[in-house]
Structure 1
Amino acid sequence: MDQLTAEFGGARRVGTGVGPVLEKFSGVHRIAVLRGGGLGDLMFALPAVSALAAAYPEAEITLLGTPVHQDILAVTDSPVSRVEILPHAEGVRPGEEDQAAVDAFFTRMRSMGLDLAVQLHGGGRYSNPFLLRLGARHTVGTRTPDAAHLERSIPYLYYQHEPLRALEVAGFAGAYPRDLEARLVPVKQTDYNASTDDGGGAPLVVIHPGATDPRRRWPAARFADLAEACVAEGFRVSVVGDQSEQSLAAEIAAGASSGRVRSVAGSLDMAQLVALLASASVVVGNDSGPRHLAQALGVPTVGIYWAGNIINAGPLGRSHHRLHASWATSCPVCGIDVTQVGWTAPRCPHDASLVEGVPVAGVLDDVLSLAAAGRTGGRA
């Protein structure tokens, strides 16, 4: 047995995708894919799910995910057959763990007789033992050196583009890539009307100012200045977010002196959010779930990113998606190296923005360029 075959658990390499594509497993009819987290995390996993669906066309694919995943997949067409909501469990889904609920989840999953379980949820310290409890005949995923072994696994190294990492895992299950990035289509039109009374048929710019990590957030004052500039250029502007982001969105709307910037944060269900994003000429946001969702819906986006997050989560193309990068490498408060993450170094307690220095003018230029290209049917 050569070194390559030994590393891949005895499986023969049959081709190349993002990484090696190994032989398919036989008799696969039920697949579970583990991917918790938010909207963006689901968008990162969907290309791999599409690849698995193409490789195993007769299989039912169950996503082990979160309520927001269930909500978005209920209103869009995707390769996911069903969603099972993960129980609260350390390193898999945050929240107070209920052991009875955890045990009931695994009893239910084992009763399905899974043929293949695929781990797309981090380095495996917690997610690999969780995956193994499903009782699947075959297991594939990522692992750090301290994580439990799966039947086939690739090393988890933090700085890798997340959708491509997931596709590399899918390759170890015998699946070739179909798409490199998520693609979603709404299953039906909603009656939600994104127009404001004073906006008429003006083109729409949607802004999402939030991000799970506060350090990824462009300051509210920058977004307010951008929104005001967009209004001056003839756009309608809506600010979106969940209930936890209502104050932030209201601050941006209030900071735009024209009074023509509207916050709908916390007031939209998932179908309405999809409809609003899909109706936009351009969506502007940080590295966040709604920006990733807009990209999957085929809407042009402008993203404000810390450079490290571009490696992991930036869009691959530039005809429809533009990036403005902050190259900060240290915390503006304490000076700690912020390029070292996870287990390589502790995170400092400061939440100061790493992208504050991104200027408004460049973001506005890209909004105007993408919107003009959309009106002419061309590409900027």
Structure 2
Amino acid sequence: MAAKTTTQSTLPASYRLELQTPLVLLMTTKHMGNLLVALHCMQEIVKASAGQSLVVIDERYRDIIDATSGIGKVLYYPRQQLKTTGLRAKAKLLYDFYRQLRQHQARLLLDFDGQGQASTITQLSGINQRIGPIDALRSKGLYSLQLADIERPPHRFNDYALYLTTFLGHNPRPQYPRLDTSPANDDNLAAILHEYQFEHCMPLVCIHVGATKAYKQWPIEHYAEIADWLAEQGQQVVFIGAGAADTQRVSRVQALCQRPHVNVCEQLSLRLLIALFQQCRFFLGNDSGPMHLAAAAGARVYAIFGPTHEDRWGPLGNKATVIRNSQACESSCSKKLCPVNHRCMNTLDPAQVKAVLQQHLL
């Protein structure tokens, strides 16, 4: 039997009362941007539950949770460890994870993610009352109820905010959680930048040239041109990123640059990256997790968008500016298949980007 769909007006009163008993908030997404966009809504549910919540998060984002107040008790899903250990060690990791999850003795599970691993965790949680999103990949027989509200604005934040509307009657404005770092992080960051001969007298600009999908990536030759131009404007460019794909793209960009720039790709923890974003003059990059992290850290953000839509996936807050090609793609264009090779991204002229950035440099 398919799960029922519900909005605030049809949610049984018994579900609303469940916030006063032990519950689980599940957000084991692999995508850092989705986590950051969801965190404020999760904070509000934790607050309303008066300490009865257990929040389940991917272990890779421990630094983000440590920098976020009001999350309470957290259980980390050991995704990375499971990839690097043997069969016996994997079995123990999973046993320990599900043992801690079940020890919370929750009566209600709220699945904020609804994708991939979250579906498996929901199924094995031992929790009978389970509420999930309407767009969950695997929903048949999984949820007691699925939340649906076709009238909400399109940004992903509003999908998560539906939990607040349903349980608390709140309609929050789109926002990230506040991210705080300790003075020790600033000191550690200063030491690392010193190793890379960073010029402390010059304002720094962070650039992230990567993205999870190729169709989100502005061409590397354009980033090289922008980096050199920023240096001519008296800015110290710092390339950031993580993973093999980002490392390769940064190396290719640097090979095209005529000026030296600082490259800390793969050198900073998320905690130090937050500290860096809080010190930078602005961030420039594609639609990506680091874009959302920079915006959440309070940095001025310039985000380059192509096939993806900022109304759905754009950075939050009044310090974010989306840069988009004035030349649209064909109407038949999709993210995975485009008859004109994602013209909206690949033909975005560096001159247009410079004109936007110049306003900030004045």
Report the TM-score when normalising by structure 2: 0.80
1:258 aligns with 2:259: yes
Q: Quick one: structure 1 residues 7 and 175, their matched pair in 2 at CA, closer, same or farther if it must change by over 3 Å?
A: closer
List structure 1 segments (4+ residues) > 6 angstroms apart after TM superposition: 4-9, 93-97
Identity %: 17
Spell out the pairing of 1:186-265 with structure 2 (5 A cutoff). Answer: 186-189=180-183, 190=185, 191=187, 192-193=189-190, 194=193, 197=197, 199-244=199-244, 245-259=246-260, 261-265=261-265
Quick one: which of 100, 103, 107 aligns to 2:99? 107
Number of the residue aligned with 2:321 = 322
Q: Distance in 2 between matches of 1:35 and 1:313?
A: 18
* TM-superposed deviation, 1:314: 0.6
Quick one: which of 62, 71, 77 aligns to 1:86? 77
C-alpha distance after superposition, 1:314-373 (max 9, x if no partner):
1344x411111257556xxxx97415xxxxxxx4599x666112221222233332355x
* 8 Å Cα contact 1:126/1:147 also seen in 2: no
* TM-superposed deviation, 1:255: 1.9
Q: Distance in 2 between matches of 1:163 and 1:253?
A: 35
Structure 2 gaps of 5+ residues are none
Q: Which AA in structure 1 matches 2:211?
A: A
* TM-superposed deviation, 1:70: 1.3
Q: Quick one: structure 1 residues 204 and 255, their matched pair in 2 at CA, closer, same or farther if it must change by over 3 Å?
A: same
Q: Distance in 2 between matches of 1:24 and 1:175?
A: 13
Q: Distance in 2 between matches of 1:214 and 1:254?
A: 20
C-alpha distance after superposition, 1:139-191 (max 9, x if no partner):
2221349623523312498x942111111134333362555221332230221
Q: Quick one: structure 1 residues 226 and 131, their matched pair in 2 at CA, closer, same or farther if it must change by over 3 Å?
A: same
Number of the residue aligned with 1:363 = 353
* TM-superposed deviation, 1:218: 0.7
Equivalent residues, number? 341
Q: Distance in 2 between matches of 1:9 and 1:140?
A: 15
Q: Which AA in structure 1 matches 2:61?
A: H
Q: Distance in 1 between matches of 2:103 and 2:40?
A: 27
Structure 1 gaps of 5+ residues are 14-21, 340-346, 373-380
Q: Distance in 2 between matches of 1:217 and 1:94?
A: 27
SS in 1 for 2:308: helix
Q: Distance in 1 between matches of 2:84 and 2:328?
A: 32
Quick one: which of 38, 63, 81 aligns to 2:31? 38
* TM-superposed deviation, 1:81: 2.2
Q: Which AA in structure 1 matches 2:50?
A: P
Q: Quick one: structure 1 residues 182 and 309, their matched pair in 2 at CA, closer, same or farther if it must change by over 3 Å?
A: same
Q: Quick one: structure 1 residues 208 and 175, their matched pair in 2 at CA, closer, same or farther if it must change by over 3 Å?
A: farther
* TM-superposed deviation, 1:103: 5.0
* 8 Å Cα contact 1:5/1:11 also seen in 2: no
* 8 Å Cα contact 1:55/1:176 also seen in 2: no
* TM-superposed deviation, 1:288: 0.8
Q: Which AA in structure 2 matches 1:181?
A: Q
Q: Quick one: structure 1 residues 100 and 271, their matched pair in 2 at CA, closer, same or farther if it must change by over 3 Å?
A: closer
Q: Distance in 2 between matches of 1:312 and 1:32?
A: 23
Quick one: which of 49, 53, 57 aligns to 1:56? 49
* TM-superposed deviation, 1:294: 0.7
* 8 Å Cα contact 2:218/2:304 also seen in 1: yes
Q: Distance in 2 between matches of 1:106 and 1:255?
A: 49
Q: Which AA in structure 2 matches 1:68?
A: R
SS in 1 for 2:280: coil
Number of the residue aligned with 1:338 = 334
Q: Distance in 2 between matches of 1:106 and 1:172?
A: 28
* 8 Å Cα contact 2:25/2:42 also seen in 1: no
* TM-superposed deviation, 1:274: 1.5
Q: Distance in 1 between matches of 2:350 and 2:133?
A: 39
Quick one: which of 118, 124, 131 aligns to 1:133? 124
SS in 1 for 2:121: helix
Q: Distance in 1 between matches of 2:351 and 2:296?
A: 26
Q: Quick one: structure 1 residues 173 and 152, their matched pair in 2 at CA, closer, same or farther if it must change by over 3 Å?
A: farther
SS in 1 for 2:64: helix
Number of the residue aligned with 2:144 = 151
Q: Quick one: structure 1 residues 229 and 214, their matched pair in 2 at CA, closer, same or farther if it must change by over 3 Å?
A: same
* 8 Å Cα contact 1:206/1:283 also seen in 2: yes
SS in 2 for 1:181: coil
SS in 2 for 1:118: strand
Superposed CA RMSD:
3.6
Q: Quick one: structure 1 residues 119 and 6, their matched pair in 2 at CA, closer, same or farther if it must change by over 3 Å?
A: closer
SS in 2 for 1:73: helix
* 8 Å Cα contact 2:130/2:144 also seen in 1: yes
Quick one: which of 158, 166, 169 aligns to 2:160? 166
Q: Quick one: structure 1 residues 371 and 72, their matched pair in 2 at CA, closer, same or farther if it must change by over 3 Å?
A: farther
Report the TM-score when normalising by structure 1: 0.77
Q: Which AA in structure 2 matches 1:246?
A: T
Number of the residue aligned with 1:119 = 111
1:176 aligns with 2:170: yes
Number of the residue aligned with 1:16 = none
Q: Which AA in structure 1 matches 2:110?
A: V
